[in-house]
Structure 1
């Protein structure tokens, strides 16, 4: 018979396997480890903002919605420096990722000053540089961007728009799982320094805060993919603001 400790470990392993987050990044061919959420934070140095749980966020008003944390940088926070505008950034989700139904989204937020370290993510304004939702077929039986992410070795690649002004930024990769309601949101953030950028600032209409960027009644978060209506619905509204005008969609 399993002891209490063994049972608890088995339960934890099952729970962790059902969810997850971004564990690694590749930026212009350079590999970066992400945060290890279930390890001690002591000594962890990474470009990723600290986060503590594989569990999803299921409320649009959750104070952790910006970066799956309290908004603060790590004690030994790093930044990926000299990320040229136009560079591709790939986020690696844990393998296996179990949720193939839902959209993929990528945001940027520019920090004041020369560094994002010490800047609370909840105070920033975000603009969307990449999005993909229902790729083909019906909401009920079609192909989704999250499924494509799984097919691509649990990765999603987005391009830093060439028109983005240079500066210190947080990049926010997010997958939203629609297999249950409320929808499950999985955002993670990393610090980058964009160089060689352009001069196209995002418009007011393209900027949102988190929380605040999604609404409780957003159709992209409240859709029942198993309903009768979903079987004959071929359009899906991706939540969040309109794409940044200079975005190059993956």
Structure 2
């Protein structure tokens, strides 16, 4: 279990990073899991999180790094860990503090891996289904409250529930926030971690609920090209439901 002091110390160190960041920790069922440390060598790093290299966003929704903010590969066996997570329980992602982008949606996906482990499985080969999403929570796109703003207000955390109906097995979980302040460029911040879901149900996602990354988004998707500053800024934001079919409340 990670000491709270360690979490605070790392949060302070990340404040030195200008403008960007990512998921640094996870928690579930009273257990804390330190994420991968970008910019450092992967040698010796032991974590449930998939490796990622930079605090900078992904600027192309079709980039080969869009699944897990990396080349899709895991750490070597022995370094890549897997957290045991009960179906129906909640898992929290902790973003660096401060998180500088309060305007945009937050989304969470799962992808089941074949076989007995996700280690060694490239995330670009998997098919993902969405289990959580939130966009504009109130107001208009220019002045309203966004999911990313809620994340910031809640100590830079986002908590999602693993659906109780999801079958048990080996999964990647993908937390993502998308900053909308820099139109026309998309700015995506996804990170992934390996989990084993236990005590699951029998409701597997349908083909219509599954997507690949890359492939799930297009740079021209309406949810990615919102103008926060022009005439459209006084309108409502259509939630991300139109982007992908999802597993939520099904």
2:98 to 96, 99, 119: 96
**Is the alpha carbon distance of 1:245 and 1:155 closer, same or farther for their aligned partners in structure 2, counting shifts above 3 Å?**
closer
Distance 2:180 2:248 in 1: 27
**Is contact 1:139-1:236 (8 Å) kept?**
no
Distance 1:179 1:70 in 2: 26
Written as runs of structure 1 = structure 2, the 5 A alignment for 1:62-211 is 62-75=63-76, 76-81=79-84, 83-181=85-183, 182-211=185-214
Structure 2 counterpart of 1:61? 62
**Is contact 1:35-1:46 (8 Å) kept?**
yes
**Please, which runs of 5 or more residues in structure 2 have no aligned partner?**
1-13
**Is contact 1:127-1:207 (8 Å) kept?**
yes
Distance 1:14 1:85 in 2: 34
**Please, which runs of 5 or more residues in structure 1 have no aligned partner?**
1-12
Distance 2:41 2:239 in 1: 39
Structure 2 counterpart of 1:37? 38
Residues 191-241 of structure 1 show CA distances to partners (whole Å, capped at 9, x for unaligned) of: 00001100111111110000000012100001111111221x123231641
Residues 57-92 of structure 1 show CA distances to partners (whole Å, capped at 9, x for unaligned) of: 0111100000000000012111102x1101100000
Q: What TM-score comes out, normalization by structure 1 length?
A: 0.90
**Is contact 2:130-2:248 (8 Å) kept?**
no
Distance 1:245 1:147 in 2: 22
SS in structure 2 at match of 1:18: coil
**Is contact 1:128-1:242 (8 Å) kept?**
yes
Structure 2 counterpart of 1:217? 220
Residues 20-78 of structure 1 show CA distances to partners (whole Å, capped at 9, x for unaligned) of: 00000001110000000022211000000000100000111100000000000012111
Structure 1 vs Structure 2 CA RMSD: 1.4
Q: Alpha-carbon deviation of 1:14?
A: 8.9
Q: What TM-score comes out, normalization by structure 2 length?
A: 0.90
**Is contact 1:164-1:246 (8 Å) kept?**
no
**Is contact 1:23-1:36 (8 Å) kept?**
yes
Distance 1:235 1:188 in 2: 24
Structure 2 counterpart of 1:4? none
